[in-house]
Amino acid sequence: MPSFRNKRRVPHTPAQMFDLVADVERYPAFLPLCEALRVRRRAASGEGVETLVADMTVGYKAIRETFTSRVTLDRPRMRILVEYVDGPFRHLENRWAFHHLDNGGCEVDFFISYEFKSMALGLVMGAVFERAFHKFAEAFEERAREVYGRGGSVAARA
């Protein structure tokens, strides 16, 4: 099963980066392959945890696929968990963690594992997904610069 992990240091606070990743409705504006995102429902479960169910449409050339995920926004622990509900995957799990750094920035830990239901779709989209995941961190960093400015002087990469 393909997986990808990336840890990066950014000059923004964990709360800022959490908010940026949690703002899923904005993904189509800056995230590679993301063409549309619709939140079906939101539910606060207390203690700073919110769960939402969202449909994301990803596309590459003539291929378009929509999948549904449950997203758990755990603000007290600065973690976001994305779990697959329905669509073209057999498995999809995505985890984010935001760790405070002594210099005021944060380390963003991104992990994703996935497997397509269709071997043919996996062959066509697998390499495209791999390249896109490498660009995800850069896309979020660029979005953070647009939203929050340049921030402090933290090394760009761990």
Is 70 exceeded by the pLDDT of residue 147? Answer: yes
> CB neighbours (10 Å) of residue 48?
11
- Give the whole-angstrom CA distance, residue 45 versus residue 49: 6
When the pLDDT of each residue in the chain is averaged and rounded to a whole number, the result is 87
Looking at residue 157, what is its pLDDT? 36
Instruction: Name the amino acid, one letter, at 143.
Output: R
Helix (H, G, I), strand (E, B) or coil at 36: strand
Which residue would you say has higher pLDDT here, 98 or 137? 98
| 8 A C-beta contact, residue 49 and residue 133 | no
Which residue would you say has higher pLDDT here, 154 or 21? 21
- Give the whole-angstrom CA distance, residue 119 versus residue 75: 37
Beta bridge partners of 52: 42, 71
| Domains, the chain, with CATH or none | 3-148 (3.30.530.20)
Q: Is 54 exposed, middle or buried (0-12, 13-18, 19+ CB in 10 A)?
A: buried
Which residue would you say has higher pLDDT here, 88 or 120? 88
pLDDT tens for each residue of 79-112: 999 999 998 888 989 999 999 999 889 999 999 9
pTM of the predicted model as reported, rounded to 2 decimal places: 0.87
Instruction: Find which of 44-48, 68-72, 100-104, 127-131 is predicted with most confidence, using mean pLDDT.
Output: 68-72
Name the residue with tokens 């990803």: 58
